[in-house]
Chain A
Amino acid sequence: MSEMSKIVRTIAAIVFPFIMIYGLYVIAHGHLTPGGGFQGGAIVASACALLLVAYGSMWTMRRIGEKRLSVFESIGAFFFIALALLGLFFGAVFFNNFLAGSSFLFGDIPMVGSNTGDMNTGGVLPLMNFAVGIKVVAGLFVIILVMAYASNHMEKKRGEKQG
């Protein structure tokens, strides 16, 4: 995919932070509102895809290599399993929510009745949402990136043949 016109690039650059913030919001509020790691991750990845379309795959590939993304993907999955295993060590069973009600990170007991929502609840759930978010962003984006890069490569080959 090659670079698009200056108008598109400018608009993409303006819209990008808003989509990014919205995606990160969906990830961070996963335990309070509809959505979560996967949904928010998909939104963030779509923001990255916007940049890819506007600025071209060569530009994006130079800034974020696919190797780095696949490392991030592994790290996300690793955190998820590691949190589940921590449940085994701190609590009693695998996947135990050992942070809930612990007055530590995300340790508050949620209020009963209608309220504005307390971010500091949920125990390990928000952390697991973050892990899934990292994995989904990296995973989806690396797929789009590699496909765009490969199609770019094919186009160039075809051009060489015709030329």
Chain B
Amino acid sequence: MTSIEYIIDHSPALIIAIPLLGAFLTPLVSRLGSRIRNVFVIIVAMLTAFLVFLLASDVFSDGIRTYIFGSQDLTTPVVRILFEVDGISIFMAIISVLLSLLAAIYSWSFMKKYDGLDKYYTLLLLMTAGMLGMELTGDMFNFFVFLEITSISSCALIAFWTHKGEAVEAGFKYIVVSAVGALFVLFAVALLYGQYNALNIATLANTIQYSFLDKIAFVLLITALGMKAGLVPMHMWLPDSYSQAPSSVTLILVGATQASLYGVFRMCFTLYGGVFADGILSSMTVGWFIVVLALVTILIGVTMAIIQTDFKRLIAYAAVAELGYMFLGIGVGLTAMGTSYGKTALDGGVFHILNDALDVGLLFLVAGSIYYATKERDLDRMGGLARNMRYTSMFFIIGLLAVAGMPPMNGFASKLLIYESTYQLSPILSIIAILSSILLLAVFVKVFHSVFMGPELPRFRDVQEVPRSMLLAMGIIALIIIVIGLIPGIVVENIVQPAANSLVNHLDYISHVISIGGV
């Protein structure tokens, strides 16, 4: 066995272990100096990203990979912790690790003036480990543990600027929502464990009966994870925490929200995938329910975004609307399970996760740069910034076109897949989706005009372009957006479709664990 195979073999464990190790070493390393600490954190993030990409290349070519903690082989009943990495897991892991690497780069200059940074970086790496754990694990209880790690560290990061009362309030709101959600998940896990004596997702999916208790567990899981993903009417925490957190944190928060969204995918398609077909709570009814909620999410997100005057809060509402598109993809995929357009919807939904992370993330970073340069968040008090901040305004144009789904950008590709498939389910759905997308464009054009255009304001005459590390982070995202926008076909074929296929073929997920003796 060559060393590269050895690393790939152990990478599921190392992907969690390296950020954890880095997180606990950060307070010690920061005693050597702040520059060394920043370099250390970025190296840890890069190492994790490298391992994720290595594992991704393996999973996309050779299929599902499992990792058993603490032993060579499984024993029945499955009491060991099992990581199972399939297409959708590694797809989500790529997004998370990319976002946290960029956040670490962006933080270098953005957070420079604040103290308590060794804690900041520790929490940042812990959050990364938590997200990656949620996405790679094959065990229900483990999923709950990593969910808690992510929520607690992100709560502390949201309230990082404690001198502002609003940040503390947002952090409090977030921890209440997360604690309630986590209890729901724990209760659902207990219901499943009580009936089937197993915690492994594949083992559970193999034996699940869809009894009354299972239905309760399903509703609890979807509600809790939907709440953590910001589905309307449980979105009230999202605009607060997105807008009050430092921009670099908001970038990772987008990833954490999407890790919860991944939970919805996993529960709907893998855990309950085989038993969904009929009954009162069939895939049809659940699918329509999610479709309706998704449309409400899109509409509320867009209409609330129109009236905001706080820059980051406006983007946060736009992010709510974008989440609606992903839920629309899941909903249509469930409603039309087994048809070709159902699969297209699922492709679109999965592809949109990647695009949303990049687009909304870029906009948040731009808002953070504006705040860094002008100390201003109110749109009514800004203007004429394009004169002094040339690159930032360019990145904003790229981000706004991508979020609104304009043709040369990546947002267009995924939204088109969603429109196409929802049209086949019901034309009115896709009409609402398209109109909301146009409204989103209107919102951001307004923002662009009020922030970057107009006469030069005397207060902002001395405003400088932001430092290089922030430009680098934004530039990388903008580059990825343009590349995906130019070659969407290649991305869909090589990354998105394997991910969506792994959701549809839930039997592969189960049979892989059976083949190593886990059922």
Contacts and interface: CB of A to CB of B under 8 A. Distances in A.
B17 interface: yes
Interface of B is mostly: helix
Contact of B17 (A71, A81, A96): A81
A100 to B, nearest CB: 10
Interface string B13-57: 110010011011111100000000000000000000000000000
Contact of A95 (B24, B26, B70): B70
B27 A93 contact: no
A32 to B, nearest CB: 20
A96 B81 CA distance: 12
Contacts of B67: 93-94
B26 to A, nearest CB: 8
Interface string A28-63: 000000000000000000000000000000000000
A77 B26 CA distance: 11
A92 interface: yes
Interface in A103-141: none
Contacts of A82: 21
Contact of A92 (B25, B26, B72): B72
Given A74-B28, A78-B25, A93 B69 contact: yes
Contacts of B81: 95
Interface string B394-405: 000000000000
A108 B24 CA distance: 31
A116 B197 CA distance: 32
A71 B68 contact: no
Given A88-B10, A88-B13, A93 B25 contact: no
B13 A93 contact: yes
A93 B14 CA distance: 10
Contact of B21 (A71, A81, A87, A97): A81
Given A81-B20, A87-B70, A94 B25 contact: no
A97 B70 CA distance: 7
B10 A74 contact: no
B293 to A, nearest CB: 39
Contact of A93 (B24, B26, B28, B71): B71
Interface string B60-100: 00000001111110000000010000000000000000000
A78 B29 CA distance: 12
Interface in B263-301: none
A93 B17 contact: no
Interface string B493-512: 00000000000000000000
Interface string A10-23: 00000000000000
A94 B69 contact: yes
A152 interface: no
Contacts of A85: 17, 21
A144 interface: no
A74 B70 contact: no
Given A94-B10, A94-B13, A94-B14, A81 B71 contact: no
A95 B80 CA distance: 11
A149 B191 CA distance: 44
Contact of A74 (B13, B14, B27, B69): B27
A84 B24 CA distance: 14
Contacts of A78: 21, 24-25, 28
Contacts of B17: 81, 84-85, 94
Select the residue from B24, B28, B67, B69 with max chain A CB neighbours within 10 A.
B24
A152 B286 CA distance: 55
Q: How large is the interface on A (under 10, 10 to 19, 20 to 34, 35 or more residues)?
A: 10 to 19
Contacts of B70: 87, 93-97
Contacts of A70: 27
B367 to A, nearest CB: 32
B223 to A, nearest CB: 31
Contacts of A71: 27-28
Nearest to B13: A94
Contacts of A92: 72
Contacts of B68: 93
Contacts of B71: 93, 96
Nearest to A97: B70
B63 to A, nearest CB: 20
Contacts of A81: 17, 20-21, 24
Nearest to A82: B21
Contacts of A88: 10, 13-14
B159 to A, nearest CB: 16
A92 B72 CA distance: 7
Contacts of A94: 10, 13-14, 17, 67, 69-70
A74 B72 contact: no
B69 A95 contact: yes
Select the residue from A71, A73, A84 with max chain B CB neighbours within 10 A.
A84
A65 B272 CA distance: 52
A74 B24 contact: yes
B8 to A, nearest CB: 14
Given A71-B27, A87-B70, A93 B10 contact: yes
A66 B503 CA distance: 48
A95 B13 CA distance: 9
A85 B13 CA distance: 9
A81 B68 CA distance: 17
Given A74-B27, A77-B20, A93-B68, 17 more contacts: A71-B28, A73-B27, A74-B24, A74-B25, A74-B28, A75-B28, A78-B28, A81-B21, A81-B24, A88-B10, A88-B13, A92-B72, A93-B69, A94-B10, A94-B14, A94-B67, A95-B69
19 contacts: A71-B27, A71-B28, A73-B27, A77-B24, A78-B24, A78-B28, A81-B17, A81-B20, A84-B17, A88-B10, A92-B72, A93-B67, A93-B69, A94-B67, A94-B69, A95-B70, A95-B81, A96-B70, A97-B70
Rank and list the top 9 A-B pairs by shortest CB-CB distance, nearest first.
A94-B13, A77-B24, A95-B70, A74-B27, A95-B69, A81-B21, A78-B24, A74-B24, A74-B28
